[in-house]
Structure 1
Amino acid sequence: MARQSADVRREQLVEAAIRVMIRDGVAKATTRAVVGEAGLPLGAFHYCFRSKQELLHSVIERIMLRSLTFAPASPAHGDDPRDIIRSTLHAYWEGIRARPAEHLVTYELTQYALREPGLADVARRQYRHYLQANIDHLEAIAELAGIHWTVEVPVLARYGLNFLDGLTLNWLIDRDDTQALAALDAYADHLAGVAAPGRPGTPA
């Protein structure tokens, strides 16, 4: 059998780690448990990752790529900025609803990392990722809708991160789709209220 590349084994280990965390919890995702789930020898872990911290970073990035990276909805003729904002947020929310178990793992990862000596940077990096994703989304929406934000984008992104993070956790607890979408639409209304036509400095 052909020898697998480091990239292929790394991929297998990240996916195996996610499966172990979903099934058994983050604390039980030991190196041995992960390689066992992947069907690889123990040495494969140290060949692909320098530490468990590096594996946790990769797990977070993988979950983000699947659920937090989404294309803003293409506007239909006559769509106003609020419609574009709303449809984009709904596309984001479908990513959350599609993989609830993975998102539950992300909250557990945050708590685990903050409590484990030497792993606090995992939580900090995790939320830096989230904040940048929110900045990217806001900039993409503005470009698509032909608007600019009247609030500084990093500030608006942090506000949005706090809202969406809380909304996601609340939904993981009660699974109330109706209330979650109502809250999401209220957030869309808020964003529409801090949007102005054109690029910054464009005459009204």
Structure 2
Amino acid sequence: MPYVEASARSRQVVAAARRVLARDGVARTSLRAVAAEANVPLGTLQHVFPSKEKLLRAVIEDVVGEIAEVLKSSAELERGLEHAIRQGLTNFWSQLVVGDRNLQIMQYELSTHALRTPGLESLARWQYERYSRIVAAWCQEAAGNAGETCAVPFGRLARVLIASVDGLIIQYVCNPDATRSAEDLEDVITMLVALADVRPAGHGR
């Protein structure tokens, strides 16, 4: 087998894991199945990811990175927080929800699997902490670039945003009604913009 750098091997294995997780579900995904999907010996995979927990954590990190990239690339952050919320969530929905329903199912399975597996409970908490941090940083960057203030801490805005969108996602996954979900997403965006109550820096509240 030709030599492959560790970073490239890691990306190869994570990509294979995402395919297996989306196809077979979290509970039925094993290191052996991922090794077969990645076309690498099991021992090679275990050298990169010694446990299923470490592999699942890497998958979550990869998904978080994908979400961050979609948010940053889909909204001009110099146009302020309201624009970022509106444009970012609209593009996130079209690309990673409507465009990748299995990704959303996989993320929910990762959370419930971790919560139901002794010793893995912290993985679910870490998963949502990562989501919250990336969204909070994205919101703060958009507001900062435009010289704006937000009425609530960015961490709280991020948690409310994630909770609201999560609810819409699970409804869409169960019943993919595009018209209804688009209307509901617009209502959530309106709610989030009102919560943020964006104003130019230096203006009193």
Does the 8 Å CA contact 1:147/1:195 hold for their aligned counterparts?
Answer: no
* 3-state secondary structure, aligned to 1:40: coil
Shift of 1:83: 4.8
Please name the residue that 1:151 is paired with. 152
- State how far apart, in whole Å, the 2-side matches of 1:30 and 1:93 are: 30
- State how far apart, in whole Å, the 1-side matches of 2:77 and 2:131 are: 25
Amino acid at match of 2:90: H
Structure 1 residue 74 corresponds to structure 2 residue 76:
yes
- Relative to structure 1, the CA distance from residue 18 to residue 84 in structure 2 (aligned partners, 3 Å threshold; closer, same or farther) is closer
- State how far apart, in whole Å, the 1-side matches of 2:141 and 2:54 are: 30
- State how far apart, in whole Å, the 2-side matches of 1:65 and 1:41 are: 27
Shift of 1:160: 1.1
Please name the residue that 2:2 is paired with. 2
Shift of 1:144: 4.7
- Relative to structure 1, the CA distance from residue 149 to residue 175 in structure 2 (aligned partners, 3 Å threshold; closer, same or farther) is same
- Relative to structure 1, the CA distance from residue 152 to residue 36 in structure 2 (aligned partners, 3 Å threshold; closer, same or farther) is same
Once the two structures are superposed, residues 110-155 of structure 1 have per-residue CA deviations (whole angstroms, 9 ceiling, x without a partner) of: 1111111211121111111111122123213323554211122222
- State how far apart, in whole Å, the 2-side matches of 1:195 and 1:32 are: 50
* 3-state secondary structure, aligned to 2:149: strand
- Relative to structure 1, the CA distance from residue 59 to residue 81 in structure 2 (aligned partners, 3 Å threshold; closer, same or farther) is closer
Structure 1 residue 24 corresponds to structure 2 residue 24:
yes
Question: Following superposition of structure 1 onto structure 2, how do residues 144-183 of structure 1 map, counting pairs within 5 Å?
Answer: 144-183=145-184
Q: Cα RMSD (Å) of the superposition?
A: 2.3
- Relative to structure 1, the CA distance from residue 84 to residue 157 in structure 2 (aligned partners, 3 Å threshold; closer, same or farther) is closer
Amino acid at match of 1:57: R
Larger displacement relative to structure 2 (147-156 or 52-61): 147-156
Does the 8 Å CA contact 2:81/2:139 hold for their aligned counterparts?
Answer: no
TM-score, scaled to structure 1: 0.87
Shift of 1:75: 7.8
Question: Following superposition of structure 1 onto structure 2, how do residues 40-79 of structure 1 map, counting pairs within 5 Å?
Answer: 40-69=40-69, 70-71=71-72, 73-74=75-76
Corresponding pairs, count: 201
Structure 1 residue 104 corresponds to structure 2 residue 105:
yes
Shift of 1:82: 4.5
**Which residues of structure 2 form unaligned runs of 5+?**
none
Does the 8 Å CA contact 2:77/2:142 hold for their aligned counterparts?
Answer: no
Amino acid at match of 1:133: I
TM-score, scaled to structure 2: 0.87
- Relative to structure 1, the CA distance from residue 152 to residue 124 in structure 2 (aligned partners, 3 Å threshold; closer, same or farther) is same
- Relative to structure 1, the CA distance from residue 137 to residue 84 in structure 2 (aligned partners, 3 Å threshold; closer, same or farther) is closer
Question: Which runs of 4 or more aligned residues in structure 1 lie more than 6 Å from their structure 2 counterparts after TM superposition?
Answer: none
